DNA sequence: AAGTGGTCTAGACCACTTC
DNA sequence: AAGTGGTCTAGACCACTTT
């Protein structure tokens, strides 16, 4: 829609890269050359190049020029949130337990007690995941009401930590379902299921939360995407 | 090291956001205000804001101002490549087969024959994954030598498609291991294993390749990361 | 020495939002 | 009408790379 100069030029240059006119390791025309060619200022050309650089198509080299770099497709973007659109969540259990096994390892035995929340995601009337959340227990805090209201993790910790200083490690693996989980999802005990684990770390590298999602066969795969987009479309 | 003005100001503003001085939904001081405050030009302030916007900490609103946005940690970055450092790859089989089952679905029955390559990744003397690759067969092309030499997918297709116009869909799920796979990885037939599938699409949305990785228990989890980085460190 | 990208300035006009 | 971000210009000086 907009006839912005920098955008137009970026589109033209991108096309030249995608079409193969400029191949990998080639050096693009210089900023000054293009500024003159398109009768515009150098700043505008820089803005066009900044777009392509952001997209990973070129890489600037001081004193040399912009070098064409075709992407290698080894980095993927994965979307994963607690709330999936159209799904319902059922809460089954909220208890205070002593951490053991992977929970103790994840939270590094920092606290004697953790709040454990167990819930399932219901899709088409069937439980497709079994989610467990473990949060260090703090004496004197009202537990049940709080935990049940917060579904998204960042909110959960908003009052304890500045949310922006947290980060999450996500793991996907398989594991044998324990009795409770198997029953909720309708499988035999010991059935191998996909498990998504999340470790929530605070800014000072402390693990302040741990979640485990047992994924049923009906849930579908975990999906990630990679590659080069044009106009927001792959 | 560098005492660039725009970087310094970006650091100061970031600190103010992380410390909570500016909370979510707050409006940052205007470009003109900050330009005067720091005795610099508006363009330089814009550059500082551009950094924070790129990091996802603020969002510009035309006519209003820059609005603080604390990240929600639902997007993860996943690294996945054929070559893992320190691992060896053994090739077991290269055949030309008629696609059926998931292979036929993935490649949409576009070709009568596909080249199937089966290999395993060896770690500490043990097969930890079983990888299968399916590529549409083109009559008259030298198959075996080519396929065995190319391990990374982008290279594999470099001569057929401009690599930059490709993208990859990655799926993680579980599935029962067939006989051949189970034998190679040392499990019983039918054992549930984690499976990573990749669909390689060309620019015109055609699926031009399909890979399946059966992941053994010793391989470790698929890992992704999310969160806010400062100075390249989480 | 010449050319490149990297930073920075001091203006200008426009589109959008709020009062 | 006033303030905001969005675009754009025509210069300037610097650091780096190549010749």
pLDDT tens digits for range B31-57: 999 999 999 999 999 999 999 998 888
Q: Which of residues 63-92 of A touch strand D (CB under 7 A)?
A: 63-64
Instruction: State whether B95 and B202 are in the same domain.
Output: yes
Percent of residues, chain B, with pLDDT higher than 90: 44
What would the mean pLDDT of B149-177 be, rounded to a whole number?
67
Say yes or no for a CB contact (<8 Å) between B166 and A228: yes
Check whether A8 has a pLDDT greater than 70: yes
Whole-number Å distance between alpha carbons of B193 and B175: 6
Chain centroid to Cα B175, Å, comes to 22
> What pLDDT score was predicted for residue B40?
93
**Which of A51-65, A137-151, B195-209 is predicted with the least confidence, judged by mean pLDDT?**
A137-151
Check whether B150 has a pLDDT greater than 50: no
Check whether A154 has a pLDDT greater than 50: no
List alpha helices for A38-162, DSSP H.
42-54, 101-106, 144-149, 153-157
Instruction: State whether B156 and B101 are in the same domain.
Output: yes
Check whether B148 has a pLDDT greater than 70: no
What would the mean pLDDT of A193-219 be, rounded to a whole number?
88
Check whether A18 has a pLDDT greater than 60: yes
Instruction: State whether A46 and A99 are in the same domain.
Output: no
CA distances B88 to B59, B123, B136, B219, B221, Å, are 46, 7, 26, 13, 18
> What pLDDT score was predicted for residue B143?
52
Whole-number Å distance between alpha carbons of B166 and A158: 40
Say yes or no for a CB contact (<8 Å) between B164 and A17: yes
Check whether A152 has a pLDDT greater than 50: no
Residue A228: which of B167, B169, B200 has the nearest Cβ?
A: B167
The most confident of the ranges A84-88, A187-191, B67-71 is A187-191
Positions of strand C less than 7 angstroms from a protein CB: 3-12, 15-18
Instruction: Kindly indicate the confidence band of residue A193, based on its pLDDT and cuts at 50, 70 and 90.
Output: very high
- Residue A78's H or E segment, with its range, is strand A75-79
What would the mean pLDDT of B72-101 be, rounded to a whole number?
82
Contacting residues for A83 by C-beta, under 8 A, at least 6 apart: A89, A151, A152
Nearest CA in chain A to B170: A224
Chain B residues in contact with A234 (beta carbon < 8 A): 167, 201
> What pLDDT score was predicted for residue B189?
96
Instruction: State whether B84 and B61 are in the same domain.
Output: no
What would the mean pLDDT of A198-217 be, rounded to a whole number?
85
Check whether B164 has a pLDDT greater than 60: no
Check whether B149 has a pLDDT greater than 80: no
The SS3 of residue B177 is: coil
What would the mean pLDDT of A55-77 be, rounded to a whole number?
86
Question: Domain for residue B23, yes or no?
Answer: yes
φ/ψ (deg, to 5) at B131: -105, 135
CA distances A199 to A111, A211, B91, Å, are 16, 7, 36
Closest CA to B212 of B225, B224, B195, B200: B195
Question: Domain for residue A31, yes or no?
Answer: yes
Check whether B208 has a pLDDT greater than 90: no
**What's the pTM?**
0.81
How long is the CA A75 to C1' D4 vector, in angstroms? 37
Q: Which domain CATH number covers A132? A: 3.40.1410.10
> What pLDDT score was predicted for residue A145?
47
List alpha helices for A4-127, DSSP H.
5-18, 31-37, 42-54, 101-106
Instruction: State whether B32 and B138 are in the same domain.
Output: no
Instruction: State whether A88 and A45 are in the same domain.
Output: no
Question: Domain for residue B34, yes or no?
Answer: yes
> What pLDDT score was predicted for residue A91?
85
Instruction: Return the sign of the alpha-carbon dihedral for residues A155, A159, A162, A167.
Output: negative
Check whether A116 has a pLDDT greater than 70: yes
- Residue A87 burial (C-beta neighbours within 10 Å; 0-12, 13-18, 19+): middle
Instruction: State whether A54 and A150 are in the same domain.
Output: no
Domain boundary among A68, A90, A109: A68
Count the domains in chain B: 2
Give the number of other CB atoms < 10 A from CB of residue B154. Answer: 18
Residue A81: which of B74, B77, B200 has the nearest Cβ?
A: B74
**Mean pLDDT of chain A, nearest integer:** 83
- Residue B167's H or E segment, with its range, is strand B167-176
Domain boundary among B41, B68, B95: B68
Percent of residues, chain B, with pLDDT higher than 70: 82
Question: Domain for residue A232, yes or no?
Answer: no
Question: Domain for residue A137, yes or no?
Answer: yes
CB–CB contacts below 8 A, A to B: 170
Instruction: Kindly indicate the confidence band of residue B229, based on its pLDDT and cuts at 50, 70 and 90.
Output: low
Domain span at residue B9 reads 5-68
Whole-number Å distance between alpha carbons of A5 and B180: 58
What would the mean pLDDT of A111-131 be, rounded to a whole number?
90
The SS3 of residue A127 is: strand
Say yes or no for a CB contact (<8 Å) between B194 and A197: no
How long is the CA B73 to C1' C14 vector, in angstroms? 36
Instruction: State whether B50 and B92 are in the same domain.
Output: no
φ/ψ (deg, to 5) at B231: 55, 40
Whole-number Å distance between alpha carbons of B224 and B213: 17
Q: Which of residues 124-153 of A touch strand D (CB under 7 A)?
A: none
Instruction: Kindly indicate the confidence band of residue B152, based on its pLDDT and cuts at 50, 70 and 90.
Output: very low
Q: Which residues touch strand C (CB under 7 A)?
A: A 28, 30-33, 42-43, 46, 60-66; B 4-7, 39-44, 47, 61-64
Instruction: State whether A88 and A41 are in the same domain.
Output: no
What would the mean pLDDT of B185-196 be, rounded to a whole number?
96
> What pLDDT score was predicted for residue B228?
61
Instruction: State whether A59 and A106 are in the same domain.
Output: no
Strand partners, B215: B129, B194
Question: Domain for residue B199, yes or no?
Answer: yes
Check whether B8 has a pLDDT greater than 60: yes
Check whether B5 has a pLDDT greater than 60: yes
Closest CA to B120 of B184, B168, B57, B176: B184
Instruction: Kindly indicate the confidence band of residue B145, based on its pLDDT and cuts at 50, 70 and 90.
Output: very low
> What pLDDT score was predicted for residue B50?
93
φ/ψ (deg, to 5) at A182: -60, -40
Domain boundary among B33, B68, B103: B68
Smallest CA–CA distance, residue B16 to chain A, in Å, is: 12
**Mean pLDDT of chain B, nearest integer:** 82
Instruction: State whether A147 and A211 are in the same domain.
Output: yes
What would the mean pLDDT of B77-93 be, rounded to a whole number?
81
> What pLDDT score was predicted for residue A55?
84
């Amino acid at each position: 829609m907009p006839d912005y100069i920098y955008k137009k030029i970026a589109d033209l240059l991108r096309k030249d890269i995608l079409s193969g006119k400029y191949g990998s390791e080639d050096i693009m025309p210089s900023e000054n050359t293009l500024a003159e060619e398109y009768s515009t200022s150098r700043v505008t050309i820089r803005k066009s190049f900044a777009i392509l650089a952001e997209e990973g198509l070129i890489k600037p080299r001081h004193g040399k020029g912009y070098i064409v770099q075709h992407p290698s497709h080894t980095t993927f973007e994965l979307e994963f949130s607690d709330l999936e659109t159209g799904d319902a969540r059922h809460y089954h259990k909220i208890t205070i337990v002593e951490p053991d096994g992977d929970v103790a390892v994840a939270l590094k035995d920092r606290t004697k007690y953790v709040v454990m929340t167990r819930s399932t995601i219901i899709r088409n009337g069937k439980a497709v995941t079994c989610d467990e959340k473990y949060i260090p227990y703090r004496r004197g805090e009202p537990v049940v009401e709080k935990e049940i209201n917060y579904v998204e993790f960042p909110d959960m910790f908003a009052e304890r930590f500045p949310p922006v200083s947290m980060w999450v490690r996500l793991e996907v693996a398989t594991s044998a379902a324990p009795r409770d989980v198997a029953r909720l999802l309708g499988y035999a005990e010991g059935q191998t299921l996909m498990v998504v684990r999340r470790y929530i770390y605070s800014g000072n590298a402390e693990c302040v939360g741990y979640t485990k999602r047992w994924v049923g066969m009906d849930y579908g795969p975990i999906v990630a995407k990679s590659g080069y987009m044009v106009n927001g479309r792959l």
